[in-house]
Amino acid sequence: MKFREYGEVKPITITADTAGELDSQIEELGSKHDIIDLQFAMATDGDGYVWFSALLLVKEKENVLR
* Average pLDDT over the chain, rounded to an integer: 88
Q: 30-38, long-range: CB within 8 Å, 24+ apart, which pairs?
A: 32/61, 33/58, 33/59, 33/60, 33/61, 34/58, 34/59, 34/60, 34/61, 34/62, 36/3, 36/6, 36/9, 37/1, 37/3
The stretch 26-48 carries a mean pLDDT of 94
Predicted pLDDT at 62 = 78
pLDDT tens-digit map of 2-26? 656 666 889 999 999 999 999 999 9
Predicted pLDDT at 42 = 96
